Structure 1
Amino acid sequence: PVSVGISADNTSVCIGTQVTFTATPVNGGIPSYQWFVNGVAAGADSPEFVYTPADGDMVHVVATSSLACTSGNPAHSDTIQVSVGEVMPVSVSISADNTAVCSGTEVNFTAVPINGGTPSYQWFVNGVVAGSDSPAFSYAPQDGDKVHVRLTSGIACTSGNPAQSDTIPVSVGEVLPVSVSIAADNTSVCSGTPVTFTATPVNGGSPSYQWSVNGSAIGSSSQNFIYTPINGDVVNVEMTSDLNCTTNNPALSNTIVPEVIELLPVSVTIDADTNMVCSGTEVTLVATPVNGGEPAYQWNVNGKLAGYNMTTYTYAPVDGDEVYVQMISSLSCTSNNPAQSNTETFTVKSAVHVSVSQSVDHNWVCEGTPVTFTAESVNGGNAIYKWLVNGVESGSNAQTFTYTPANEDKVNVELTSDLECTIGNPALSNTIMLKVDEILPVSVSVIAYDSTLCEGEVAILTADPVNGGGIPAFEWYINDSLIMGDLYHYYYYPKNGDQIKVKMASSLTCVSGNPAVSEPLVLTVFDNPEVTWETSGDTVFCINGGEVLLNGGFPEGGIYSGAGVSEGTFSPSVAGIGTHELVYSFSTEFGCNGEAIVTVSVDSCTSIPSARLEDMVDVYPNPASDVLYVAINGEDVVKAVRLVSLLGNTVMEVKTAPAERMVELPLNGLNHTLYFVEIIFEDGMLIKQVVVK
């Protein structure tokens, strides 16, 4: 069987548009074709047929197969009907509700399409895409903006698609604030005087005016308004601008209340800020006018012109000055013009000098120790104090200032007096520089003149302080028992094995480990030899009796000594009249000495025997520590009393008055050892031995 089918590339086209039909044979071999349009043969022998249809054309084909054995040959295809639409011209126009607007005002644009079908829109402002897909577009334009729209039609067969509208330019005017103010040629007039008011417009264009007095319309639409006011009238104007883009239109002006016055009495009074001042201090006088307007002034001091055209007058008065002012009122309607004020009289006092000094409880302290400064003022009154440390303000407003200083801090104080008449106010004090010491460690040790001694020898002990200061205090201990204190040196008769310690309290302020205790010092004491002296013969010698050989000392080999003794021989003439103690001393291999004492007397052999001098004098106490007393019995005259060391040196001498019966010898500061006391009479001398402890 032979058959044929056809298809078209488009069955609905616009006028003038070609359509291509294609035949598809079945069992055609090499077929031949005949195309038909509306039953009329058309086209060529071809499986394709191209032509420009008219609306409603019916197209089919007849195919003749080249095969020998066929049925249904030639074969007719189905028919295709073509729809042809008319080509529609597309266009669009726009309109605006206003093309001249004020700044900030929206403009509404509307698009009107032709052959748009169901169109789409694209709005443009100055060539830039804006708005949405809508026939309406609203926005607040800028001056000179240009607006158009592009429309794309929804119809199939069109021309001029998409279409662009005409362009609408927009003029945007600035919004101008409208205001008006008024001024009067005179706001203070005498009754019956006309006043001219003038309006000054801002952004008025060619404005219109409505003047009002006390809220009632008056006058004409004029920039100037002249009328005769009554006191208290309130005048203003309402201005209406004829400009397009404005705010506050119409505008209401300020109000002016003219002062309408009758003839006013003019007067003036003056007041001084004070009538009692310090010498050289300025005072200010203030004039208070009544009905002065804008007055002119002439100030007078003691009747002479001193200043003018000032409400206030400032000057430094002299005691007894008298000041007044003449005022000329600027008001038109006045009486008693010019007016003269009251008179102010001044009392001027002399100034006093302000000064301040300071003291400190300690200007030399240990680190970390607070000090207190005290200010002393002269003419300070209820003063204000400002304390300064190295030039930097410190402390509070107080007469005293306490703080913890650093070394070489410099402190002073500034005082401000509240007295009225002062010189040198504020005053600056003297400067105090502080010495701040570091904390020093305290220690002490014991030094012995000789730590190996003989029985009866004085141990000379010295404290060796470290950081003890100038006046350290000492406590001496023997075998841990306190024996005395407060001396660098200690003298005593030790026992073998004695342990000596000293406790020292430093006189320095800035110390640690105070008081300090020394390590013990152990003393070695050797026994003294037992020495005797047995004399044979008299112990009273005449001064001219010649030399006497001394003997009888034991153990032998010792040394004889004393007044008048030389190489074992005693010379009375050398010893002199009086009682003398002669000594026989012996030294062991350890250097330990023993001695025996014999008392002899040398007499002039012409007057009182020397032996009787013993009864005339008492020396006590013995041993002595602070004071040695020499008591003179009877009526014999003592010329002097001497204290002599073991080496024969006079330690002190006291000259006595003829009637003096008691002599005091102060012993403070003497070494603790043996001394001789020589009592000198007019015709003899007595020697006593004493121990100072």
Structure 2
Amino acid sequence: MKIKQIIFPAFVFFFFVSTSIFAQTLVPGGTVSGVWTNAGSPYIVEGTITIADNDSLVIEPGVEVRFKPGSTSLRVFRGQKLIAIGTQDSMIHFTSDSANPAPGDWLHIYLNGNGYGSILKYCRVENSQNGVYCRAWVSGCQDGDNYSIIENCEFTNISNIGIWCEGDADTGSGCTIPRLGDCSPVIKGNKIFNNQKWGIYLAAWNGILANSFVGAEISNNVIFNNNSDGIRSFYDDPVFPKIFNNTIYGNGGYGIHFLNNPDTTYYTIENNIISSNNGGIYSENSTLPIIRYNDVWQNNNNDYFNFSPPQTDISVDPLFVDANSNDFSLNCLSECIDAGNPDSPYDPDGSIADIGAVWFDFSSIGCTTSNNSPICEGADLLLTADGGISYTWIGPNGFSSSDQNPVLSKVTADMAGDYSVTITTNDGCQAKFTNNVEVNPLPTAEIAGNYEFCAGSNTILSASGGTGYEWNTGDTTILITIGNAGEYSVTVTDDNGCMESATVMVESNPLPDAEISGGLSYCEGSLTMLTASGGTSFMWSTGETTASITAGNAGEYSVTVINDNGCMDSVTVMVESNPLPDAEISGELSFCEGSLTMLTASGGTSFMWNTGETTATITASSSGAYSVLVTDDNGCTNAATVMVETNPLPDAAISGTLSFCAGSNTELTAVGGTEYEWSTGENTASITASSAGDYSVTVTDVNGCTDSATEMVVSNPLPSVEISGTLTFCESSSTTLTASGGASFAWNTGEITATITVYVAGEYIVTVTDDNGCTDAESVSVTVNSLPVVTLMLPTDTFCLMESNIELMGGMPAGGTYSGPGVTNNVFEPSVAGVGTRTITYLFTDSNGCQNVDSQEITVVDCTSGISRIQDNISVLVFPNPSIGDFSVLFNGWTGRKQIQVFDARGRVVFSDSRETDRFEVSGLSSGIYFVQVSNGEYVDLKKIIVQ
């Protein structure tokens, strides 16, 4: 037995409510196309409507289509398409527009010869003569085909047939070629129930030079409580349906009835549950279809008519979860589980198919398993399971255990593989789960590199064997650089998270002590000897490798000394050669008109100028050639000559704006030279003046001659900017901000008026400019207070007309005001509101003065007719509401035995009880919305509760 998921949606009852209280769309008879949306729902069809030629009608989820009573219908012909695709939570509703809807109020949805075009999914069709009339009509000399898709829909309260599939042909007057009508829709996952005649009806008719057949695929439908046959087929052309995995239950006729068909050998009736009908499978044909792997059980008359039970069929109680509540899911002990055709093409998970429409899901019994895989060698394997009363584990190497959560210590690689557990629950159900366990090997950690280095140097260690590394130094890279001796270890982690370590010892060797001895200076044209010491080998900067070398040039001489450990040290000396003196004359070789210049000779210890002077420095006051003879300490001499010139003075001036705004500045520019010295200490041509006062500059030209200029700079004050206005307002409102203090305004919103209106929160900045062109800015932060989140959920939405003084509650947050018909001071009077649907509105104002509302529809009914819902001094109280899953039901004034049923939002009964007491306790409900119905044969009441 394998675990399966439920592949078909559970069937639930939906209460359809128009998506809008006031919106509706009137659709007169004629052609239609386009998209019907929730905004236009409900659509009131007043006549027969037909989709336009070569066009389509798309209906959105949640749309309600109401047909006026009479001959109203929706028709689709060849080349037209109806696309009505709802969702499980938002079905499309086709129904009567009558105030008192009844079966047969309107005709049907007519799909005729539209090939693969039309699709109906998650639709509810009710109160019609036929639900969907699927037809392949051979008209004229054309073939007809219909491959519509009808899935996950509901067909109920229909006066004739839920789904009618028909292949038909006309006389074919004037046609000379054979024609074919093929009606083979997909009918899957539907719920067809409580109809006055048949659930599904298949028929085929022939004509002149025309044949038709019905090859519908009918699978995973629940067909129950219809007054006649669940599925019927008949007449003179072939009907070849494939009837798989349906549940056909409690119908007033036969479960499947086929008659007058010329050849039924192409039928396939497989994996169906046919139970509690007036009859099982009835064949009026001499040739039987393929009937196999069905459960045909306890039909009122015979299970099989005119033939013997097939060998592969079974006859057992299918053990539905609750057929009386229309829950046709299989109990875990049902013999229909995994009892279908082993080769069934409708088996979605590859295992043996279940019999019936709703597959059993073993996950629903609440068993789970898990493990801590993948793990590394040497770790402990933890296997866990829950949800049962006994557990049987098996695994690699002959492992077995009856522990719920076995532990395998220090696993090895050969312990990897599949570990299976069979869990037995307290009701005898068994589920088998398989857990795959991966055991990953440990990485091989290694450290490579030089394990010795010289003092003051370092070495690089490289780790390998994984993808993540953590050294005892704190580094997490593959490579680390170390400069200290000692022990180094690394923990290596691979892609699987497994870890291993490696360690090495690193040593540090001392450096040699390098020295150079010998004469470090000589006269030009001679030599000196240099000798290195401190090691065993030598490398000079000259390329020589001997301990001693001869230096014949001035400059640096360096040597690298290497000891026995290969460690190195270097030393450098400067060797000087005494050259001839380098005679030079320094000083300004030009001077400004009316000034002097100083000339200084260098390069020796004594000097002789052509002016006759013998000092190092002389004063030149005229242009011309000046020369000097220099002698050094060694008695060497050399001469130098320069030419001196006289230059004119520059013309200094200051340009620029001589006023600026306070807090700003102005730029002043000096002209007339190439260098500038301002009174501010700056030496650029242009400066920025940020304060008022005198500014002067000394200008120097390319010749070093100077001139000066001075200007007065004035500072204007900034405008005084203010923003006034209310800085907070409620969402969907606005506020006004006004700026002052200048002549023009520029907001960060782009507006240039003094006053602006703002609608959103944020920072608002205005820049104000005065008559002097000076600007200043101011900003304010505007806050938008959100509207309070208001919800209204009254404890009940139905009230009796005679009830009075009902204090309203359910509005959140508390402290608001209720209003609506019959509401005064938060108290509701049904008699004032009157019978019918009314709207209660809840208004709440928060501490910021912001308001919001929510509304809820309630219904006032006259409970005095039929079984009384409530009378004076007779009531039922459900509390607390909302609750956290536990609540009490208290009857006041009720007599006799009380019946209580609790429905979830999908219409399923989650609690039911009957007793004489006046108080019931209900507990253990999960969060959601529920409806509590109470009755005693004399009174009935319905309450809505909320579990948080």
TM, length-normalised to structure 1: 0.21
Larger radius of gyration: 1
TM, length-normalised to structure 2: 0.16
More relative contact order, 1 or 2 (CA 8 Å, 6+ apart): 1
